[in-house]
A and B are shown apart, each in its own frame.
Chain A
């Protein structure tokens, strides 16, 4: 009798405990609600039917007869024929990915390139040397500039990694997916909702897509699309975020995540799909060589570097001078013994424009003279000479790297204390206070918060602060972690912020995002062009300068509407000049090269990499020489050495 109550207690405790566990695993995986079956087939089809102009269904007979089909098959191969398949590539991530989704909140992290951006196969890709299209999912395509329509015939071999063929349905669904509210991705909603006017189905493997405007690059807007697997997203609905949080989306690319290869918070392993449909295709066969890609989480940069020096990860970006010259100098024993190779690779790509983004909606910064003063008080040359040791170059405008769209006649403003002081004086700051900082007649100090989300650039901030002080300007440094920093500028809470936007390889720069008043204020101007007194600052946009100028709006609208390249170039120059005069962006520096340290067993083609790439891993042309790896590891123990490998590849140096 005595035992009964206690065992009851135990049961209850056990029940409580289990309930606790259930709750926990429900948070990370699929909760009961999420495992309820959804089938959105009817909803999707109803939406297709509701927009008959957008989603059009025709037959092969309707296909225009006079189309000229091209397939880019003559373009040279990518990668090296020497490449060998096999081995494991080890990579360290700074943070565990917050989701496996590739759209929606938190999806745009450091891990996404490995499951989407750098491995995905598009309809066709821009060739990294020739800038012409080579085929991927498409067998061939035809362009119709009159209607800005692109016709596509899919490769019959194209399949998703789970064996399901890629069909026209997946492209129809791509539009439905990216236009859907369920994915909580307003940028995609807007882009797919406004940039395209129609997709037409001719048969299972033939379709056409029409762009909203006949911009000179309309072809790439269509050909660089990638489909979404219709069969995988059958359950897409209101609970998309939770339901697809940790589900690997079938891919048309080379790497898949197999069940059990994701250990939350610890590691991820991607495996090369041995039956990948494109593995023998001309432009893919020498790429995506490692059999496995193992990701470990190492949060600290110095620790990641130590892991690299131990050989736990295969390569390490040495963009910072500190790493290139001191932590891994040419005289390093591992470099001298030839175990670790150092490579500098110059190429052409629009580089991230590092500089100071001044929020013109803040008091004082709304004064042009103050902004001009700040420009002349920013000693970028000292940053470049002393911190980057001359390896970086001074940025001239925020939009360099877009060939003729850039205006080479614009010169950035130099560090000049007397000019800075003249401008500050014009803004009313004439006296220096007891600490050397300028004050105006009301006793207000000339001080701004200089914030950044790049912890590794703290030293740059210190230099700028010290130098600005000479001109009587105080910069209060605020170093935030990247998420907080980004949030701050998105909320437009910053005064002056140091940041750079990643650039894509596009034909021409985007101005609307950064400089149009639509992204600065709600109803910035009245109809006659005067400032709307009731306007309110608009947050969550990339117009970090709160740039609102009636003339600029007009230029950008014309630029966006223009279908003539020469006119766009002309407009682009005007926009850049106007932006320069406005002085709300102090152009800092850019890195003209990619620098890398990598263990000898990571092999690259003789020419190292291709002309238009943004990161070394963009194209996956490297391979792992497993025999060499064994040899190097043994040599390290026995003390045997190889000839050192320190190379500069400057064949694409602009």
Chain B
């Protein structure tokens, strides 16, 4: 069993009492689970294919050429067509499609013309299609997943660097502190957005999409870790002067042991309260960059790209902007609610009023 100290348990109990934050957390957690198994819900590949007595599960495997299922082409099977074919020839073969039978990249134009299609349950485009007839629900879903993974990766990296440097600054103090403070002051004055835009515009497209996303993440982290150091530095300064640190030192604990085993757990509450807001910041940043066209490389599904399409087609295809904007608002609201609840529950004063 996880052995939590009573202080933490108390905080968690308090978190559960803040209903708004707690339910938001449950919804978010549920969403994360859904997102993790997204391929089973929204995908152009069938969940199960039964062909001539054999069962196939194509979702997570390598692609099946059409010839595997008696079709005359050797590129990826179009499972929606295959389903109709199976139904038509009544040979006992069958397949099961996910709830939304489209992936985030394919152009599916029922009318033969690439144009935004309004939400249409008959075609299973529940939120309609975008300007190149890609399913909006699929793009939103995978766009959100990428944004969330990106933000969590961003948060972890920023915290790792920020904590390490901030704590060291506070703990060692003196010249080390002075030097890094100046360095951070200079570094944090480099305009973040412009740097991201400039650097990202020179990354050659020859790199694969995941590499380019990783580079974007690295660049963003590089210009964002400074904010965290201020808090960690002051907190560490405060804790360093406490008796337990002196005691640990007298016993002969090493510097790194003191920082990570003694000081860090005591400044954790500051950290935890910042986390959700960092995620909100990262989601907004990546969406904004995408909106400007400097974010995730196309054709990666993204909220910002959908927003951009939506604003360009406000009059003719309002459903694009409505779904993208709605998702963004919902997502950011949920995370913010969780953040507020965390902050409140970690507050040592029981009754505090936020201004």
Q: Mark A470-507, 1 if CB is under 8 A from B, else 0.
A: 11100011111000100000000101000000000000
Nearest CB on B from A464, distance (A): 11
Closest to B133 in A: A386
B113 within 8 A of A: yes
B56 within 8 A of A: no
Nearest CB on B from A38, distance (A): 38
Q: Are B114 and A387 within 8 A (Cβ)?
A: yes
- Taking CB atoms and an 8 Å cut-off, the chain A residues in 287-312 that contact chain B are 300-302
Query: If the complex has contacts A459-B114, A463-B107, A484-B201, are A417 and B73 also in contact, measured as CB distance less than 8 A?
Result: yes
Residues in chain A near residue B112, CB distance under 8 A: 385-386
Q: Are B299 and A465 within 8 A (Cβ)?
A: yes
Q: Are B75 and A327 within 8 A (Cβ)?
A: no
A40 within 8 A of B: no
Query: If the complex has contacts A326-B316, A386-B109, are A455 and B75 also in contact, measured as CB distance less than 8 A?
Result: no
Q: Are A466 and B105 within 8 A (Cβ)?
A: yes
Nearest CB on B from A491, distance (A): 12
A469 CA to B115 CA, complexed, in Å: 21
A436 within 8 A of B: yes
Q: Are B312 and A432 within 8 A (Cβ)?
A: no
Nearest CB on B from A640, distance (A): 24
Residues in chain A near residue B297, CB distance under 8 A: 477-478
Nearest CB on A from B214, distance (A): 16
Given B75, B113, B134, B201, which contacts A417 in the complex, CB threshold below 8 Å? B75
Closest to A470 in B: B75
Residues in chain B near residue A389, CB distance under 8 A: 113
Nearest CB on A from B341, distance (A): 40
A93 CA to B299 CA, complexed, in Å: 29
Query: If the complex has contacts A327-B316, A462-B107, A463-B132, are A435 and B63 also in contact, measured as CB distance less than 8 A?
Result: yes
Given A301, A387, A455, A465, which contacts B293 in the complex, CB threshold below 8 Å? A455
A322 within 8 A of B: yes
Q: Are A459 and B132 within 8 A (Cβ)?
A: yes
Nearest CB on A from B300, distance (A): 10
A369 within 8 A of B: no
Closest to B64 in A: A436
Closest to B312 in A: A302
Q: Are B205 and A478 within 8 A (Cβ)?
A: yes
A458 within 8 A of B: yes
Nearest CB on A from B323, distance (A): 18
Nearest CB on A from B163, distance (A): 37
A465 CA to B132 CA, complexed, in Å: 12
Q: Are B299 and A469 within 8 A (Cβ)?
A: no
Among A417, A432, A480, chain B packs the most CB atoms within 10 A around the CB of: A432
A5 within 8 A of B: no
A478 CA to B208 CA, complexed, in Å: 11
Residues in chain A near residue B209, CB distance under 8 A: 476
Given A326, A451, A462, A479, which contacts B132 in the complex, CB threshold below 8 Å? A462
Nearest CB on B from A419, distance (A): 13
A480 CA to B205 CA, complexed, in Å: 10
Given A300, A386, A476, which contacts B206 in the complex, CB threshold below 8 Å? A476
Residues in chain B near residue A484, CB distance under 8 A: 201
B181 within 8 A of A: no
Nearest CB on A from B158, distance (A): 29
Q: Are B114 and A463 within 8 A (Cβ)?
A: yes
Q: Mark B297-313, 1 if CB is under 8 A from A, else 0.
A: 11100000000000111
Q: Are B316 and A471 within 8 A (Cβ)?
A: no
Q: Are B205 and A477 within 8 A (Cβ)?
A: yes
Q: Are A470 and B315 within 8 A (Cβ)?
A: no
A549 CA to B73 CA, complexed, in Å: 37
Residues in chain B near residue A434, CB distance under 8 A: 62-63
A421 CA to B298 CA, complexed, in Å: 26
A449 within 8 A of B: yes
Nearest CB on A from B60, distance (A): 11
A434 CA to B65 CA, complexed, in Å: 10
Residues in chain B near residue A462, CB distance under 8 A: 107, 132, 134, 298-299
A138 CA to B35 CA, complexed, in Å: 74
Residues in chain A near residue B114, CB distance under 8 A: 386-387, 459, 463
Q: Are B315 and A479 within 8 A (Cβ)?
A: no
A322 CA to B315 CA, complexed, in Å: 12
B6 within 8 A of A: no
A305 CA to B151 CA, complexed, in Å: 36
Given A302, A463, A472, A480, which contacts B311 in the complex, CB threshold below 8 Å? A302
Closest to A467 in B: B107
Q: Are A476 and B132 within 8 A (Cβ)?
A: no
A587 CA to B314 CA, complexed, in Å: 34
B50 within 8 A of A: no
Q: Are A432 and B205 within 8 A (Cβ)?
A: no
Nearest CB on B from A209, distance (A): 46
Nearest CB on A from B236, distance (A): 41
Closest to B112 in A: A386
B131 within 8 A of A: yes
Query: If the complex has contacts A385-B112, A386-B114, A462-B107, are A471 and B75 also in contact, measured as CB distance less than 8 A?
Result: yes
The 5 closest A-B pairs by CB, nearest first: A478-B205, A434-B62, A470-B75, A302-B312, A436-B63
Can you list 21 pairs linking A and B with CB atoms under 8 Å apart? A302-B314, A327-B315, A386-B112, A386-B113, A386-B114, A389-B113, A432-B63, A432-B74, A449-B206, A451-B205, A459-B131, A459-B132, A462-B134, A462-B299, A463-B132, A465-B299, A476-B208, A477-B299, A478-B297, A480-B201, A493-B204
Chain B interface residues toward A at CB < 8 A: 62-63, 65, 73-76, 105-107, 109, 112-115, 131-132, 134, 201, 204-206, 208-209, 293, 297-299, 311-316
Q: What would 17 more interface pairs be, CB under 8 Å, given A302-B312, A477-B205, A479-B293? A: A326-B115, A327-B315, A327-B316, A386-B109, A387-B113, A417-B75, A421-B74, A432-B65, A433-B62, A458-B298, A466-B107, A469-B76, A472-B75, A476-B208, A478-B205, A478-B297, A479-B298
Chain A interface residues toward B at CB < 8 A: 300-302, 322, 325-327, 385-387, 389, 417, 421, 432-436, 449, 451, 455, 458-459, 462-463, 465-466, 469-472, 476-480, 484, 493, 495
